[in-house]
């Protein structure tokens, strides 16, 4: 059975050791760091990490910048932000930067561990069972493994949340996905984000899709649906 390897970036020694202790009790292998720069070096040298737990407020480079940097690397590393910044605007910023889930301090250990397990489970399912590595609708093409999206010959620059949203819609062509379901698919299980966040992502995504924007259909009062290519 695979032993998952988790990177923990937290500058408060007591908190970092507490997190590491409980993760080790779950059977995970842990590498802990107190600065983002050290974590970046570790990730650059070792591609075997399965998950990163990142605090936002770190000395020097912030946890938010670390999340953005990790999202630019070739291998997609699931990231759980653990921070005292609990405002809705901060949660949205963290998720927009590329975090997959967000836990605010102080947190309950069972809840934290459940979030970790959910992210690892979802990541493994995406890695092992990728049904269609290339999704196509009209002139819109999405590569699930390389994170490339294009309309015709034009390559699109999507945010992490926009990419996840588009991928979820394309993988469920013809199906209506509620806002709650999209929040779960795009931003992680158990994250409390208002419906308007999904609407904002869809608005930005439609602008970038240009001629293919009409494929995303609004189902009033429910959510969204990706029309089929022959619709």
Q: What is the pLDDT of residues 70-126, one digit of tens each?
A: 988 756 788 999 989 888 888 888 888 888 888 889 899 999 999 898 888 877 655
Q: Comparing 192 with 20, which gets the higher pLDDT?
A: 20
Select 134-226's CATH number: 3.40.640.10, 1.10.10.10, 1.10.287.70, 1.20.120.1460: 1.10.10.10
pTM of the model as a whole? 0.59
Alpha-carbon span 227 to 219, nearest angstrom: 11
Could you tell me what percent of the chain has a pLDDT over 70? 89
* Preceding amide of 202 cis, omega within 30: no
* Preceding amide of 106 cis, omega within 30: yes
Query: Can you name the residues that pair with 216 across neighbouring β-strands?
Result: 226
Q: How is the beta sheet containing 79-83 ordered, strand by strand?
A: 29-33, 5-9, 51-54, 79-83, 101-104
Q: Comparing 126 with 141, which gets the higher pLDDT?
A: 141
Tell how strand 5-9 and strand 51-54 pair up.
parallel
Per-domain residue ranges for the chain?
5-128, 134-226
Q: Which tokens sit at 218? A: 């609004």
Helix residue spans in the chain (DSSP H): 13-25, 36-45, 63-72, 88-97, 109-128, 160-171, 179-187, 195-209
Q: At the topology level of CATH, where does 5-128 sit?
A: Rossmann fold (3.40.50)
Alpha-carbon span 200 to 205, nearest angstrom: 9
């Amino acid at each position: 059975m695979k032993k998952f390897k988790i990177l923990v970036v937290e500058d408060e020694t007591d908190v970092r050791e507490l997190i590491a202790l409980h993760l080790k009790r779950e059977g995970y292998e842990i590498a802990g760091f107190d600065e983002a720069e050290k974590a970046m070096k570790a990730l650059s040298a070792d591609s075997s990490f399965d998950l990163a737990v990142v605090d936002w407020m770190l000395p020097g480079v912030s946890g938010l910048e670390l999340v953005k940097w990790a999202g630019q690397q070739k291998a997609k590393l699931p990231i759980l932000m653990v921070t005292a910044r609990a405002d809705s605007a901060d949660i949205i910023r963290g998720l927009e930067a590329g975090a997959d889930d967000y836990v605010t301090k102080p947190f309950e250990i069972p809840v934290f561990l459940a979030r970790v397990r959910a992210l690892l489970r979802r990541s493994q399912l995406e890695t092992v069972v990728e049904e269609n590595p290339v999704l196509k609708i009209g002139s819109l093409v999405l590569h699930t493994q390389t994170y490339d999206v294009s309309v015709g010959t034009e390559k699109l620059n999507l945010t992490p949340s926009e990419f996840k949203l588009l991928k979820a819609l394309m993988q469920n062509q013809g199906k209506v996905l509620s806002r709650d379901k999209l929040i779960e698919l795009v931003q992680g299980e158990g994250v409390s984000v208002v419906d308007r966040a999904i609407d904002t992502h869809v608005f930005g995504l439609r602008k970038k899709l240009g001629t293919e924007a009409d494929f995303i259909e609004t189902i009033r009062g429910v959510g969204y649906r990706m029309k089929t290519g022959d619709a």
